[in-house]
Amino acid sequence: MAVDKARIEAAVAEILAAIGEDPARPGLETTPQRVAEAYAEFFSGLSQDPLAHFADSVPVGPLTGELVLVRDVAFRSVCEHHLLPFLGRAHVAYLPRERVVGLGRLPAVVDTLAARPQMQERLTEEIAEAIQAGLDPRGVLVVLDAVHGCVAARGPRQAASSTVTLATRGAFDDPVARAEIMALIGSGAPAAAPVGSPA
């Protein structure tokens, strides 16, 4: 189901009136429309199935590799408690069993699940569960590190703090295996430049 932009516009106009503003004044007259467009983008994941991103996974045989790790996937979501954004980085790892998927599909899963009213804790688990269901790997690990608008801009106003959440499945439930992947995530070593790229 698509986002109902007309209802959002009406609701935003009512909010503006409720705080004592004139929704028709210059500077605000297009605000309801702009918010509706933004909300359609922020919540586009409600009409998408994250498992669809695994439809073209590739069978490669048993125990195809040791690890697939995609670090520093930028994401944006909206906290369901205050409808304020939270922004951060996702780190996604899995141990293939018999299937792998294009590397761009992992950020797509993150984006789909983040584009909903969310809690970071649930989002972390949902990403891990989608990868587990979509690829049946031997292990999954997901780390999210995000700054929340509801913490940075209101209430505690802790603009420099971030929240880290972790979800694991299978082999990464083991603390030793998990520690090895966390060390790789934390190393922050830049990827090698493509062949032919300027130094």
Give me the pLDDT at residue 109, please.
98
Say if residue 117's pLDDT is above 90. Answer: yes
User: Is position 65 within any domain?
Assistant: yes
- Is the pLDDT confidence value at 197 over 60? no
Indicate the pTM of the whole model: 0.89
Examine the domain organization and report whether 107 and 21 are in the same domain. no
Contact criterion met (CB below 8 Å) for 40 and 3: yes
Q: What share of the chain has pLDDT > 90, as a percent?
A: 80
Q: Would you call 80 a catalytic residue per the annotation?
A: yes
pLDDT of residue 62: 67
Q: Kindly report, residue by residue over 119-129, the tens digit of the pLDDT.
A: 999 999 999 99
Give the pLDDT mean for 104-109: 98
Helix 5-18 to helix 31-42 angle, to the nearest 10 degrees?
A: 130
- Residues 160, 66, single domain; the answer is yes
Residues 29 and 93 in one domain: no
CB 62 within 8 Å of CB 31: no
Q: pLDDT value at position 101? A: 95
**Mean pLDDT for the stretch of residues 55-63:** 83
User: Does the active-site annotation cover 150?
Assistant: yes
Residues spanned by the domain of 169: 55-187
* Domain assignment present for 128: yes
- Shared domain for 83 and 164, answered yes or no, is yes
pLDDT surpassing 60 at residue 195: no
In a domain, 30, yes or no: yes
- Residue 135 burial (CB < 10 Å; 0-12/13-18/19+)? buried
Residues 92 and 180 in one domain: yes
- The answer as to whether 194 is a domain residue is no
Question: Which of 91-95, 96-100, 149-153, 192-196 ranks highest by mean pLDDT?
Answer: 91-95
Which candidate in 48, 82, 98, 132 is catalytic?
Answer: 82
Task: Looking at the structure, tell me whether residues 90 and 135 fall in a common domain.
Answer: yes
In the residue annotation, 120 being an active-site residue is answered as yes
Q: Choose, from 53, 118, 125, 148, the residue flagged as catalytic.
A: 148
pLDDT digits (tens, 9 = 90+) for 133-151: 999 999 999 999 999 998 8
Q: Based on the domain organization, do 23 and 110 belong to the same domain? A: no
The answer to whether residue 197 is domain-embedded is no
Q: Is residue 48 part of a domain?
A: no
Q: Give the rounded percent of residues in the chain with a pLDDT score beyond 70.
A: 91
Residue 53 appears among annotated catalytic residues:
no
Mean pLDDT within 108-129: 98
Residue from 53, 79, 91, 126 carrying the catalytic annotation: 79
Statement to judge: residues 25 and 120 lie in one domain: no
Number of domains in the chain: 2
Catalytic residue among 81, 121, 158, 180: 81
Q: Looking at residue 157, what is its pLDDT?
A: 87
Q: At 166, is the secondary structure helix, strand, or coil?
A: strand
35 lies in the same domain as 87 = no
123 and 26 together in one domain:
no
- Which candidate in 9, 53, 118, 120 is catalytic? 120
Q: In sequence order, what are the residues at sequence separation of 6 or more whose Cβ sits closer than 8 angstroms to the Cβ of residue 106?
A: 70, 73, 92, 131
Of 14, 41, 80, 180, the active-site residue reads: 80
To the query of whether residue 79 is one of the catalytic residues in this protein, the response is yes
The pLDDT, as a whole number, for residue 194 is 47
Where is pLDDT greater, at 40 or 155?
Answer: 40
**Confidence check: pLDDT of 198 > 60:** no
Residues 65 and 113 both lie in one domain = yes
My answer on whether 63 and 13 are in the same domain is no
What is the reported pLDDT for 133?
A: 98
